[in-house]
């Protein structure tokens, strides 16, 4: 392909940020857009596929649950998919017993073998959290105790967090947790957003509809940094083609200032000769003697599909957390003070990069839920991409 064949916009990364910007560029500017992704599928970490044996929709990169209180985002996504009435609820196994999460009046009464009223439970937690009253928490351990008291913190948070971070919470900074939700009623709905659900036909169908336009083309298995293919960083810069980049910001600059640190997740698949293993979509394991943080049973996200699912088989993924290395899938920014300072330096370089907009989790070193990615993409199109296309 020669330079004259380049489209009006190249989007690097086929995740929700890139797909949203591409869709908006076609709709509002009539632009020709080419999307490239090093993976073999669109959808980024929200990609899902059907498991033939069980009939379950597998979320390849871990459970993805759509929820939002942002009407602009809700109206936008409903252009491409309808949603089920799924409401996310989580359960946790502790000392061989299953409790509802987030911590609510049901959790409290079950844990303390009591029948507290909301006011009585509120007073109990305040008393237990007062153990460190007047002290500035020096670490995550102290912060957790000061928020919900030692008994509940040690039962449901301490060991789970240690597995998440592979670090004793006493050695983690207090500011990792801002708050720990405690509800003094029996509401165990995990999210508190106005709208919630799962895409009726699955995540991949939703993403496909977003870019179902002849002006949008997609190249999969394409590496932006591979100079043997035409949509590479140097060639696009020389041709003056506007680029929306959603890959790791440190990779864009060849790690010249250092590596930003991330957490990643490994999954171990288990298959069971039974229709339902846990009876819920997500089961947390709060104790140190279970090496994984949680297990995901995908069939239970879609009870409305029971007729098309195998009644005698189910699949479960166990989730193990660790520090990411180069080549791993980055999930959660570590965000130490050093990381924040390093990102600020990369952010300054990104701001000076001509014809390039950085977005998404990887491009901005932020953890986003799906609705936040879409919202930032809509704003980025309006404020940054549209002006580039108008030149």
Give pLDDT tens digits for 317-327: 999 999 999 98
Q: Report, as an integer, the average pLDDT of 99-107.
A: 96
Q: Is residue 1 pLDDT above 70, yes or no?
A: no
Is 319 a catalytic site residue? yes
For domain 105-176, the CATH class is: mainly alpha
pLDDT of residue 310: 97
Domain residue ranges in the chain: 9-49+201-258+333-390, 105-176
Q: Is residue 168 pLDDT above 80, yes or no?
A: yes
C-alpha–C-alpha distance, residues 377 and 368, integer Å: 12
- Which is the catalytic residue, given 325, 367, 382, 383? 367
- Which is the catalytic residue, given 119, 179, 307, 337? 179
Percent of the chain with pLDDT over 70: 99
- Nearest C-alpha neighbor of 351 from the set 252, 205, 266, 284: 252
C-alpha–C-alpha distance, residues 262 and 50, integer Å: 29
What is the torsional sign of CA 176, 182, 188, 191? negative
User: Whole-prediction pTM value?
Assistant: 0.94
Residue whose pair of structure tokens reads 């009644």 in the numeric block: 311
Q: Report, as an integer, the average pLDDT of 341-359.
A: 97
pLDDT band at 136 (very low <50, low <70, confident <90, very high): confident
C-alpha–C-alpha distance, residues 59 and 81, integer Å: 17
Tokens of 11: 């989007």
- Which is the catalytic residue, given 6, 37, 99, 263? 263
- Which is the catalytic residue, given 60, 183, 203, 381? 183
- Which is the catalytic residue, given 294, 297, 318, 375? 294
Q: Report, as an integer, the average pLDDT of 81-96.
A: 97
Q: Where are the alpha helices (DSSP H) in 68-156?
A: 71-77, 105-112, 118-129, 140-148, 150-156
Is 183 a catalytic site residue? yes
Buried residues in 88-115 as b, exposed as e (16+ CB within 10 A): bbbbbbbeeeebbbbbbbbbbbebeeee
Is 192 a catalytic site residue? no
- Nearest C-alpha neighbor of 46 from the set 205, 194, 164, 191: 205
C-alpha–C-alpha distance, residues 43 and 60, integer Å: 11
Is 369 a catalytic site residue? yes
Q: Is residue 269 pLDDT above 80, yes or no?
A: yes
- Which is the catalytic residue, given 319, 361, 365, 381? 319
The neighbouring-strand residues paired with 57 are: 50
Same fold, 9-49+201-258+333-390 and 105-176: no
Architecture of domain 9-49+201-258+333-390: 3-Layer(aba) Sandwich (3.40)
pLDDT band at 178 (very low <50, low <70, confident <90, very high): confident
Q: Report, as an integer, the average pLDDT of 214-221.
A: 98
């Amino acid at each position: 392909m020669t330079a004259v064949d380049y489209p009006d916009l190249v989007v690097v990364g086929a995740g929700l940020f890139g797909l949203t910007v591409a869709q908006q560029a076609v709709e509002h500017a009539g632009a020709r857009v080419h999307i490239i992704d090093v993976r073999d599928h669109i959808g980024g970490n929200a990609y899902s596929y059907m498991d033939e044996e069980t009939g379950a929709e597998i979320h390849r990169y871990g459970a993805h649950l759509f929820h939002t209180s942002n009407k602009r985002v809700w109206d936008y996504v409903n252009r491409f998919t309808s949603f089920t009435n799924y409401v996310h609820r989580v359960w946790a196994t502790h000392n061989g017993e299953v409790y509802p999460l987030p911590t609510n009046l049901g959790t409290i009464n079950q844990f303390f073998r009591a029948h507290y009223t909301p006011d009585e439970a509120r007073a109990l937690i305040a008393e237990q959290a007062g153990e460190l009253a007047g002290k500035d928490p020096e670490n995550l351990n102290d912060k957790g105790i000061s928020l919900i008291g030692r008994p509940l913190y040690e039962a449901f948070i301490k060991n789970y967090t240690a597995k998440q971070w592979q670090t004793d919470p006493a050695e983690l900074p207090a500011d990792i947790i801002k708050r720990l939700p405690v509800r003094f009623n029996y509401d165990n709905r995990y999210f508190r957003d106005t709208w919630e659900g799962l895409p009726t036909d699955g995540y991949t169908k939703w993403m496909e509809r977003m870019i179902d336009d002849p002006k949008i083309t997609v190249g999969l298995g394409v590496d932006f940094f591979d100079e043997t293919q035409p949509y590479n960083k140097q060639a696009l810069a020389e041709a003056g083609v506007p680029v929306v980049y959603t890959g790791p910001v440190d990779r864009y600059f060849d790690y010249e200032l250092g590596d930003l640190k991330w957490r990643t997740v490994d999954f171990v698949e288990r298959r069971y000769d039974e229709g339902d293993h846990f009876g819920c979509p997500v089961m947390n394991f709060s104790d140190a003697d279970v090496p994984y943080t949680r297990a995901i049973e995908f069939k239970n996200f879609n009870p409305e599909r029971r007729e098309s699912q195998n009644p005698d088989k189910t699949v479960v993924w166990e989730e193990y957390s660790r520090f990411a290395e180069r080549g791993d899938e980055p999930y959660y920014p570590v965000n130490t003070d050093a990381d924040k300072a390093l990102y600020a330096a990369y952010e300054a370089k990104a701001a000076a990069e001509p014809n390039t907009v950085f977005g998404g989790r990887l491009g901005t070193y932020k953890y986003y839920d799906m609705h936040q990615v879409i919202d930032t993409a809509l704003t980025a199109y309006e404020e940054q991409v549209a002006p580039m296309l108008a030149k």
